[in-house]
Amino acid sequence: MAGRIITVAQQKGGSGKTTLAANLAVAMRARGLSVALIDTDPQGSLGRWYIERLGRKGEDEELEFSTSSAWGASYESEKLVKRFDVVIIDTPPKIDSDLRPALRVADLVVVPVASSQVDLWATEGVLDLARREKAPVLVVMNRARPNTRLGAEVAQGAADLGATLADTQIGNRVAYAETLGQGLAVCERSDARPAREEFDTLTDEVMRAWN
């Protein structure tokens, strides 16, 4: 397959960008794809996850990690996509001109939205910037609580903003936080079946969305 670039973006901090990036990377490796991760967030959470992973799993030549400035994301990703099947860019929680390079090169922008109106409002800036860069967007409901009015309102609001809304919702599960701190992904936890199943479905949806 030709290399693909996924940019994970959201204006609001704590939305689950790093959790999605790390879990997507491991899920795609489990499908036999080579994956490169780029962390443009100065907070460095994805890098900390990767270091923890090296300690537990050792090196994997088909899973590479690098850091970049926001402005350097396009150069770094275009270089890596020649060697890897998938490049995943984790971005800082802000929306300004610095984010544009990561959106401009993206085959798909994945935007996590937690079940709150504040998260939905924050999404508007991401979607507007992505539209300007003509980048396709997939909004993912994260930390979703099933069958709640707020969750339904946020999901409808995202759709009203013109975004493609993922059918799969990521639940508010402890397994995501636990595995991230261990340098793992939920697909590597035998006792986290609901999380494994929902993220497996989301990964399939993401891979369909970039085609």
pTM of whole model > 0.85?
yes
* Residue range(s) defining the domain that contains residue 128: 4-205
Is 211 contained in some domain? Answer: no
CATH number of the domain bearing residue 106: 3.40.50.300
126 within a domain of the structure (yes/no): yes
Give the count of domains, the chain: 1
pLDDT at position 128 is 83
Specify if 130 maps to a domain: yes
User: In this predicted model, what pLDDT tens digit does every residue of 57-95 receive, in sequence order?
Assistant: 999 999 999 999 888 899 999 999 999 999 999 998 876
- Dihedral angle over CA of 112, 146, 120, 67, nearest 10: -10
Q: DSSP state, 65?
A: E
Average pLDDT over residues 196-207: 95
pLDDT, tens digit, for every residue of 98-132? 788 999 999 999 999 886 777 777 788 888 888 88
Query: 195 and 176 in contact (C-beta within 8 Å)?
Result: yes
